[in-house]
């Protein structure tokens, strides 16, 4: 019994550390990132994501995908290949109203966040 409790405590500590790189504020539809520790270029990219992406979906969808590595709607793996594919999808979507530089900035941010989530 004692070993089980110790193992559970260690697992809880380990799983908390896996998401320590991304600071999230709020819950549900109000979930957003805390960009205070982002490099300046990523802060600018976050502003693009914060304004453009929420036209169609909340930031929760993106944050959960980055934290878990699984896209919440499709259940597909959410990695660097997926961020590129989503960027292309948004570029082709006529009502996304995103330019190629804005899509690139958003994909760069998601890749940065994936790296941060791993630490």
Would you kindly state where each structural domain of the chain is located, as residue ranges?
22-118
Domain 22-118 has CATH 3.30.420.40: no
Q: 75 or 14, which is more confident? A: 75
Q: 111 or 11, which is more confident? A: 111
Identify the band that residue 46 occupies on the pLDDT scale cut at 50, 70 and 90.
Answer: very high
Label residues 85-118 b or e (16+ Cβ within 10 Å = b): ebbeebeeeeebebeeebbbbbbbbbbbbbebbe
Q: What is the pTM of this model?
A: 0.78
pLDDT, mean of residues 82-94: 94
Do residues 101 and 54 touch, judged by C-beta distance below 8 A? no
Q: Is the pLDDT of residue 7 over 70?
A: no
């Amino acid at each position: 019994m004692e070993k089980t409790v110790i193992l559970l405590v260690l697992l809880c500590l380990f799983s908390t550390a896996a998401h320590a790189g991304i600071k999230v504020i709020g819950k549900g539809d109000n979930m957003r990132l805390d960009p205070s520790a982002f490099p300046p270029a990523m802060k600018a990219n976050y502003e693009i994501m914060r304004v453009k992406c929420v036209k169609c979906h909340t930031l929760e969808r993106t944050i959960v995908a980055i934290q878990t590595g699984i896209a919440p709607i499709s259940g597909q793996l959410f990695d660097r290949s997926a961020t590129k594919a989503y960027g292309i999808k948004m570029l082709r979507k006529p009502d996304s109203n995103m330019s190629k530089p804005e899509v690139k900035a958003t994909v760069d941010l998601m890749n940065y966040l994936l790296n941060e989530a791993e630490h």
